[in-house]
Amino acid sequence: MNESSEKSVVVLKSPAHTWSIATAIDDPHHDLNFARLSWGLQFHPEFDRAVTSKERQDFFSVRAS
């Protein structure tokens, strides 16, 4: 692994028996798959309670239209 100037961690070489299923401009191993079936979690610290509430209201108002 390597830390870029923005302090993000980048995988330089994927572990054996894994494969990349997503890439980014500066990260060829943005999302690694370790098994045939897998799940993931993405965290956005910029989404606080107010932003999340607004997003939910917008989502449900569009679906109701």
Instruction: Judge whether residue 4 has pLDDT over 60.
Output: no
Question: From CA 10, how far away is CA 30, in angstroms rounded?
Answer: 8
Contact 32, 16 (CB under 8 A): no
Sequence-separated contacts (24+) of 42-50 with Cβ below 8 Å: none
Q: What is the pTM of this model?
A: 0.40
For the chain, give every domain's residue range.
2-64
The predicted-structure confidence for 23-60, as pLDDT tens digits, reads as follows 888 888 888 888 887 777 677 777 788 888 888 888 88
Question: From CA 25, how far away is CA 28, in angstroms rounded?
Answer: 7
Contact 10, 4 (CB under 8 A): yes
